Amino acid sequence: MIDVILKKGKEKAALQKHPWIFSGAIDKVKGSPLNGEVVKVLAADKSFLAYGYYNSDSRVAVRLLEWDEEKTIGKDWYHSKLKQSIAARAHVLNNEDTNTCRMVFSEADYLPGLIVDKYANFLSLQILSAGIENVKADIIDILRTELNPAGIFDKSDATARTHEKLELSQGLLWGETPPEFIEVRENGVRYHINIAEGQKSGFYCDQRDNREILAAYTKDREVLDCFCYSGGFTLNSLKNGAKHVTSVDSSALAIETLQHNLGLNGFTEDQQTSIQSDVNKQLRAFKDEERKFDVIILDPPKYAPSRSALDRAARAYKDLNRLGMLLLNPGGIMATYSCSGAVDLETFKQIIAWAALDAGKEVQIIRQFHQPEDHPVRISFPEGEYLKGLLIRVL
């Protein structure tokens, strides 16, 4: 096995079990490892630190896997990690109300670059590291054994693959091709989702808990669901007795899928209005119309993919939330989220404070939102805590 030796003083993160070694921390590489090859990482004094995937084309040059030198990184090791990850989610799926869940969450489950989502009897995989790409056949075989899915679909079309010099990939990996719409259940709400054409892995199960929490505030109220996608917040609000929900998304597929889901759950046309439009443009149109709502949900895409984009993202979040505040009735409720890992919770709170100042509004934080337990945050990898949100009352 090839040794990767770190510069003096650069071993601290590895000793604290952070899973990333950046290229600038490496002193020398003894040999020429292939991208994705497992290497042994050593401190400057040649003491063992960990095993990990090497990639000379990535800024994260080594993704650490195992800190026990006696362990062997092979199929049995992957089987053990996958069994552990799957077992931890068993109770999430152990009821009739929910049959969709994230089964593997990359670094948080000690499998950097692997995301596995379960949608009813199908699995959707995202492979984002060269190391996992190299053992894809073993991963598929283990998932077949442990979960017995009808089919496994590859959704490795994320731009993160380009950082590892991997081509984008999508298509059937094993078993049956998923139908155009798979029916899943989450918190007793039924969804038709499209794995092949849908965003990311097909469905945002990271808002499962937050959708249910927010629904409690929507009974008999006028609700605006922005970036509604396939209708998670819309459907939970209607289930809880919202007076009417207006749902906005720029994607025609999202609106089409939402319409399927409304019918699937027995909701009628007079209960909900769908608008295909750019959200910021539509919010300005509502403002010009002097339209008001009792509850507004802002769940935008990732505005800050990296820290270099933080300033631009902060301005975008501020403007979006300012517009939302201006559309609320006095005492109205707004649930606002950020899925940008580069924006921490305290920064997000500050952005909301700036938005309130610009809108001329007083704001109370009444709840904080987080990602659910099937998206765990590994204590040595705080970067995994990407989803945060605030439930605010606007006075």
Annotate 275-286 with b (16+ C-beta within 10 A) or e (fewer).
bbeebeebbeeb
Q: What backbone torsions phi and psi does residue 4 show, to the nearest 5 degrees?
A: -115, 115
Count CA atoms closer than 13 A to 115's CA, side-chain side.
24
Answer yes or no: is 190 within a domain.
no
Looking at the fold, whether 365 and 236 belong to one and the same domain comes out as: yes
Q: What is the CA radius of gyration of the chain?
A: 22
pLDDT tens digits, residue range 357-372? Answer: 999 999 999 999 999 9
Residues 54, 82 within the same domain: no
Question: Any idea which residue has 């510069």 for tokens?
Answer: 7
Q: Domain span at residue 343?
A: 204-394
**Residue 294, strand partner residues:** none
Task: Look at residues 22, 44, 66 and tell me which one is the last residue of a structural domain.
Answer: 66
Domain count, the chain: 3
Say yes or no to pLDDT of 305 above 90: no
- Give 65 or 303, the one with higher predicted confidence: 65
What CATH number is given to the structural domain containing 50?
2.30.130.10
Single pTM value for the model: 0.92
Going 138 to 141 to 145 to 151, the CA torsion angle's sign is: positive
144 alpha carbon, distance to own chain's centre: 24
CATH number of domain containing 92: 3.30.750.80
Domain-located, residue 294? yes
Q: Is the residue at 327 inside a domain?
A: yes
In terms of domains, do 20 and 51 share one? Answer: yes
Q: Which two tokens stand for residue 169?
A: 């990939």
| Residues 148, 285 share a domain | no
The highest-confidence range among 83-87, 204-208, 302-306, by mean pLDDT, is 83-87
Rama region for 336: left / alpha / beta (φ>0; ψ in -120 to 50; rest): beta
- Shared domain for 292 and 231, answered yes or no, is yes
Active site residue 339: yes
Residue 188 lies in a domain: no
Q: What is the average pLDDT across 32-56?
A: 97
Other beta carbons less than 10 A from residue 8's beta carbon: 10
11 part of a folded domain:
yes
Distance CA 322, CA 361 (A): 9
Does position 109 have pLDDT exceeding 90, yes or no?
A: yes
> Which of 313, 291, 320, 131 has the alpha carbon at shortest distance from 223?
291
- CATH number, domain with residue 217: 3.40.50.150
**In this structure, is residue 93 part of a structural domain?**
yes
Residue-level pLDDT at 369: 97
Instruction: Single out the residue in 42, 66, 90 at which a domain terminates.
Output: 66
The reply to whether 335 and 257 lie within a common domain is: yes
Q: What is the pLDDT of residue 199?
A: 61
Tokens of 240: 């809880």
